[in-house]
Structure 1
């Protein structure tokens, strides 16, 4: 409502539009229902529970959450339904993105099909909990294919290792919850005159911030930004670095798997070891400012003393790498990888140590 033009954050019936400009939005029993010109149901909240003896109301809250609740219960835990559980393409402050383990609902963002067409587009930003360590993945679903184009990296207690969020901002706080009830990310604003949103479009994931003096949305960051952002640009046991030429670099102790292809600036086949692993007698190289490898083959122990990480990895002949799980307060817990390390990049600043 602060913007001089409309900013669309949610569309109820994005994939089932009205056939004409005539429609009716009404409460029917415990449900909010959108009816078409011929009184057909176009969209509904489709609720089955509720107390029919208590009046049901629909309300748009100041934070942008459109809710259905009983008139005598304003507590969020008593909402019968809320739009925040069914995102479109935009994550607003106080909204949660991720998996509700109780309802089995994965709240994710889906791009618009076009600038004037809010129906579901090709790009989806969602939490993948099938990995050893959950990550948010930007997926291109064009022509029913599933191509991962970006990954957030795992949460390290302060940020996702592959997302350029700026820490230390006094007006924006990031939250990540992982427990028996949910695995979810959210953010909120401490300065109510500044607003922010996370939006997925066709091709990009954008953080936009509303700054009052300019009365406009400012692009805070966007992904992809540079040549190192595409996943798997550099193959296994190699990493992408913007300041080197070529951008793909073998980890020390590895050489290009296909030297000719590597010389032609194609690093997709990655690198191979120059010597075989010697289980129990190997040592680890520290790589600074890294976006951690893809976590498909990772496991995590969140309670382990970080001093034990190397010892634990050395004792497992299948362990190829490790990192600290939570970098706050000197570090706690360990992330372990087995198998090949893929989708690694080096940042000029940020990221974390990988061993």
Structure 2
């Protein structure tokens, strides 16, 4: 595993020079995240207990293969640029660790996904809570590889919640994966191993998925909460569906594709959703249901493309999602 990460073209450790910003004081109530961030090297197997372990996945190779607009490889840097100045609202029981970045070498997405899996497994073994900063949604398959290896000898089941406008369950193209094939690859791997495929997709839109994809998802027992059903009147049913999904598995992995959100709030993505989710009180009620799940174990954010991000709106939305996640984790 460490052999994968030992290549500087594949993995770089956390960089303290990234975490600089405003200083309002040295007492905790006046601090910002950059004052508490500990940059570490996964090759040294750092102590990660009670830590949020950030790891960048600097890839848009899958987006390019998927004929999307590239640029998401620089998403991790854009998110960190906003995170650095966030105020500290969580207790000192929780630590912040920047574990560095996974890179793409020679357009070899598959090697980078395998390397991400190796890094994620290591973080989980060290009892950290991984938050992966994307990067294209090809991050999903690499994230899954790490969880799969971590759970292999633990006799535990995996469930994935995907906040997304797209199902990302399309078949491989010329035998290769891309940013839209992650769940197809996961289902295939789970089936080959005789394991169940637990997938709940929230925010899906008919306009963003072919009838064939929706039929294939139904065939594979994918659970859906479509964008049009994210209304106040159905909040109780939505909460029940999410909670019941989590109760059916041991490990919940949440992946957030930022293109699930309406373009006015998330212009900096690989594929815009003009009528996507509005990040209002209703959405955050749903989001809090997910964050309250006792078995949520890892999270990633995908598809931030800073080259199209007007006023850093998408990066700030991603940072807010992370901010709320960490404040919630600190209370568990």
The alignment's TM-score, normalised by the length of structure 1, stands at: 0.25
Structure with greater strand share of residues: 1
Q: Return the structure number with greater relative CO, CA threshold 8 A, min gap 6.
A: 2
Structure with greater helix share of residues: 2
The alignment's TM-score, normalised by the length of structure 2, stands at: 0.26
